[in-house]
Structure 1
Amino acid sequence: MIDELRSDGELVSAMAAVRSAAGDLEALARVAWSVVAEPGDGVAGALVQALGASEALRVALDDGVGPVPGRGRAELAEGRARWRVRAEVRAVAAAVRAAGDVQARLLIPGDPEWPHAVDDLGAHAPMVLWVRGDASLLSAAPRVAIVGARAASGYGEMLAGDFAGELAASGAVIVSGGAYGIDGAAHRAALGVEGRTIAFLAGGVDRAYPQGHRQLLQRIVATGAVVSEVPCGTAPTKWRFLARNRLIAALADATVVVEAGWRSGSLNTAGHAAALGRPLGAVPGPVTSAASAGCHRLLREYDARCVTTSEEIRELWGISGYVEGSAQEGPGVDPERRRLRDALGVRTPSTVTELARRSGLAPTRVSALLGLLELEGDARRADGGWLSGHSDRR
C-alpha cells in the first residue's frame, strides 16, 4: 500500500493543501494508519513506534514478518485482519481531499505545533491530528479541560460558564469536547471573553456534531481550534467518543468535571487524566442531585480535588502525582462488543465485511461477536445480513 500511496500523483498533490511537506512519506503513511486503524489501537501504535509509520504499514500488510516488540504473534495477526478491511488507497486520498476542502491542517509528531502532551499516551497516542483553526493553541499554556454532562442542569452550565470565562480571560486555553451541556457552556464562555478554546471531536473535523453546535464550532474555528484524530468524513460513534476523551485528558494540564451522572462519559475523561497523572478536579453539587453523583464519586473514590472557584482550579496546575484507580465503565463491559452493537443498523442489513469496516474489528472477530449478540438479543439476522436487535437504539 505504501508504494501505491507514494506513486499516486493526485494524492501527493492533495497533501500540499493540508501540509507544507507534500512529499513527506511519513505523513502519508500516518494518514493511511488513521484510515485503517481505529483511534487508540495499541497494536498499531506499538508497530509504528518500533518501525516508523511507513515501514509499519508494510509490515501490517505482510504475512511474512514476525511479531512486534512487546506484542505477540496473535495480536499482530488480529491487527492485520482488521486493518486490511480498510486498506484502500482511495480511502486515504478521499480523507486528504476532504480535509483540503475545509482547510484542515495535518499535524504529525515532530511538527512544531504537535502537542507533546499527547505523546504520554504511548502506544495509544494519535497517529495524526487534523486541525481547523489555530494549531499553535495545542501547545499554548496553560490548558484546562472543562467537561461534564450533556444533559446539564442550570447550576452546572452556570458554573462551567463562570469558570471557563474567568480562566480564559486570564489567558488559559479551555479544552472540551464540543458537546451539548457543560462542554458547550465552557466553549461559549471562553469565546464570550475573547479567550481561546479547543474542541476535540469524535468524528471528522468536516462534520459538525452535534448539528445544533454548527455555528459554535464555526466560531471556534475562527478564533480557536477544532481538532480530531480521525479522518474527515468519519462519523462519530460511542467508542470514538470514549477514545476522544483520552486526548482531552492528555492535552490538558488539568481536568475539571463540573457536573456528571454516576456513569457519565465525563468520568471516562477523568479516568484517563488520573491514569496519566494529570491533576483532576471535581465540582460538588447538591447531595440529592443525580446530575452530580459522578462528581461526588470522583471526590470519594478517585481522589479528585474539590474545586469551587476558578482560583482553586488554577491551583490544580501545581498538583502532580499518579492517582490510583479508573473511572471507566464497570467490569464485564466488552468494548469490542459495544463497537459492534453501535455499527449495526436498525433498517438496512449489513454483511460481516461491512460491519468489520465500520467497527474497525477483524471479520473473524465480528463473526464471533455476532453470535453472542444474537443470543443476547442485540443482533438479528435479516436478508443475508445483520441488523440491531433493538428498533430504537440510544
Structure 2
Amino acid sequence: MSPPEHGPSEQAPSEHGPEVVARAALTRVLEPGDEHGGRWLERFGAAGVMRLLTGPEAESGALSGVRAERLAGYRRRAALADPRRDLALAAGSGGRFVCPGTAEWPTQLDDLGDARPVGLWLRGGPDLRTWALRSVAVVGARACTPYGAHMAQTLAAGLAERGWVVVSGAAYGIDGAAHRGALASGGATAAVLACGVEVAYPRGHAGLLGRIAGSGLVLGELPPGSHPTPSRFVLRNRVIAALTRGTVVVEAAHRSGSLVTARYARELGRLTMGVPGPATSGLSSGVHELLRGEAVLVSDAAEVIELVGDMGELAPERRGPVLARDLLRPDSARVLEALPAGRPAHPDEISLAAGTGTDEVIGRLYELHSLGFVERQGDGWQLTRYTRGGEVESGATRRGGR
C-alpha cells in the first residue's frame, strides 16, 4: 500500500498571485522561524510586508518589534529579492513553491503559530498535503551505530510497506538509513532540508537526494541556492515535527539535534517515541532520557502505527509460546505440579503435596494420563519424559489433546 502520488498541476511563475510571489520573496528576507516576521504576516499579509520593506524608510516603521539595525538588514534583503527569478529556477528544475492559502499547503504546519514557515520549496511529484496526513518522522544520531542504522532502516521499511510516509532530514546516520529503508521497500519518503532543495547537502547524499526527489519529496524553507547554517538545521527540525503525526528517535546522545525534533513534537502535541538501545551506549542515552519522560517505547513499525494510526490499527499481542500445561484447569495443574520430577509417587503422597483428597488426585491423574503428561508405574505415577524435559511439544499436543 502506498500513499497517493497525484502531484499538483504545474503552475508557471507568471501565474502566481501577488501574495504567493511576495511570500516567495520573503523566504529570502526572513530566516526560518522568525516570529517577528510571522506576526507581520498575520497583520499586513505578505504583499503588505514586502511593500513596507521596499517602500520609503519611514513607512517600514510600522514593522515593530525589532531594532533599527535588524530592520535595515531586512530592507537590504528585500531590495535584492527577485521572487519571479526564484520561482522560474524552481520550475526549471521540476520544483514548485507552496504556502498558506495554496491547495497543497499542509495545515498542520499552522500549529507552529508565528514560527510557521513563510512557505516551502518542493522537488518531487507527490502532493505534500496528502502525504503529510499519513507521515511519521524517523530521526536520530549522525554518527550512529550499526544497531541504530539497522533499526532505523527496518522501522522505516515497515512503515513504508504499510502505506506511511517516512520523513527525515537526509543527514548522515539515522536519517539516511530511514530514507534508504523506505526506498528499498518501494515506499514513500520525504526529506526536509536546511538549504535550497536543489543543493546536495550533505554532498555524500547527492545520489540519495536524487532518488528521494525522483519518487518522493525534497522540501525546505530556503529559496534556490541557499546553503545550510547550524541555526537553520535546528529550526528545520520544527518543520519535521509539525509536518508528521509523530516522531521516532532511534539513537541520540544527550546533546543530539534529534532531541530538538522530539521536543518540538511534544510541544506541538504530537506523539514522541523512542527505540531503546544498550544501557551502556552513549548514543542511546538521550533516547532513554526521553523514555523516562513522556516518550513511548517502540521496537517496530507495528507499534508505531498502533500509536499514530487510526482506530483498530493494533500491533500484534506479544507473548511467549503457549505450552500444553498452560491450558490445564487449575485443579489438574495443581496435581501435575505436585508430582516429583525424578521418581514415581503414590497418590497419597501426591494428595498431601497438592492439598486435596486422594480420590480427587486419582481422577486428575487419569485425566493427565490421557493428555500425555503422566504415566503409571505400578502403584505410583510419574511425569512423562516430555513433561520432565519441559518441551513445548508435550504428548498432549502431539496427540491433539487440549
**Normalized against structure 1, the TM-score is what?**
0.72
Partner in structure 1 of residue 212 of structure 2: 220
Aligned equivalents of 1:64, 1:137: Cα separation in 2: 37
Instruction: State the shift of 1:215 in Å.
Output: 0.9
1:169 correspondence with 2:161: yes
Q: Which residue of 1 aligns with 2:287?
A: 295
Quick one: distance in 2 between partners of 1:90 and 1:229? 15
Tell me which of 16, 33, 36 is aligned to 2:29. 36
Deviation string 1:39-94 (CA, Å, 9 cap, x unpaired) is 111011110111210012223454336656xxxx4427465233123123455455
Query: Contact (CA 8 Å) 2:50, 2:78: kept in 1 or not?
Result: no
Contact 1:280 1:316 in 2 (8 A): no
Q: Does residue 1:268 correspond to 2:260, yes or no?
A: yes
Counterpart residue number, 1:160: 152
Q: Where does 1:61-140 land on structure 2 (aligned, <5 Å)?
A: 61=54, 62-64=57-59, 67=62, 73-75=64-66, 77=68, 79-89=70-80, 91-140=82-131
Deviation at 1:117, TM superposition (A): 1.2
Letter in 1 for 2:238: R
Alpha-carbon shift at residue 21 of structure 1 (Å): 6.0
SS at match of 2:23: helix
Say whether the 8 Å CA contact 1:199–1:220 is kept in structure 2.
yes
Which residue of structure 1 aligns with residue 187 of structure 2? 195
Provide the rounded CA distance (Å) in 2 between the counterparts of 1:208 and 1:135: 20
How far apart in 2 are the matches of 1:35 and 1:315?
A: 41
Q: Does 1:211 align with 2:206?
A: no
Deviations 1:70-123 (A, max 9, x none): xxx442746523312312345545533432332211112122211111111111
Q: Distance in 2 between matches of 1:262 and 1:247?
A: 21
Query: What residue identity is the alignment partner of 1:31?
Result: A
> How many residues in Structure 1 have an aligned counterpart in Structure 2?
299
> Which one of 225, 247, 250 corresponds to residue 239 of structure 2?
247
**CA–CA distance in structure 2, aligned partners of residues 103 and 318 of structure 1:** 32
The 1:92–1:256 alpha-carbon spacing in structure 2 relative to 1, beyond 3 Å, is same
Q: 1:171 to 1:74 in 2, by over 3 A?
A: closer
- The answer to whether structure 1 residue 52 and structure 2 residue 15 are counterparts is no
- Report what 2:299 is aligned to: 308
CA RMSD of aligned residues (A): 2.1
- The residue number in structure 1 matching 2:277 is 285
By how many angstroms is 1:307 displaced?
1.1
CA distance in 2 between counterparts of 1:318 and 1:135 reads 21
Q: 1:25 aligns with which of 14, 18, 21?
A: 18
Correspondence for 2:138: 146
> What residue in structure 1 maps to residue 222 of structure 2?
230
The percentage of aligned residue pairs carrying the same residue is: 45
Kept in 1: contact 2:13–2:84 (CA 8 A)? no
Q: Secondary structure at the match of 1:54?
A: helix
For 2:19, the aligned partner's letter is E
Deviation of 1:311 after TM superposition, in Å, equals 1.6
Q: 1:130 to 1:256 in 2, by over 3 A?
A: same
Counterpart CA distance in 1 for 2:266 and 2:256 is 16
Q: Read off the aligned partner of 2:30 and give its amino acid letter.
A: A
1:146, 1:258 within 8 Å by CA — same for their partners in 2? yes
Letter matched to residue 265 of structure 1? G
Assess, with a 3 A threshold, how the Cα gap between structure 1 residues 45 and 175 changes in structure 2: closer, same or farther: same
* Matched position secondary structure for 2:28: helix
- Look up the equivalent residue of 2:222 and give its one-letter code: V
Equivalent residues of 2:105, 2:128 under 8 A apart: no
Contact persistence 1:18–1:104 (CA under 8 A): no
The alignment partner of 1:106 has SS state of: strand
Deviation at 1:128, TM superposition (A): 1.2
Change (3 A) 1:75 1:224: same
TM-score, length of structure 2 as denominator length: 0.70
Query: Which amino acid letter does the alignment assign opposite residue 171 of structure 1?
Result: G
SS in 1 for 2:77: coil
When residues 295 and 201 of structure 1 are mapped into structure 2, their CA distance, relative to the original with a 3 A threshold, is same
Q: Which of these two proteins has the greater Rg computed from alpha carbons?
A: 2
SS at match of 1:175: strand
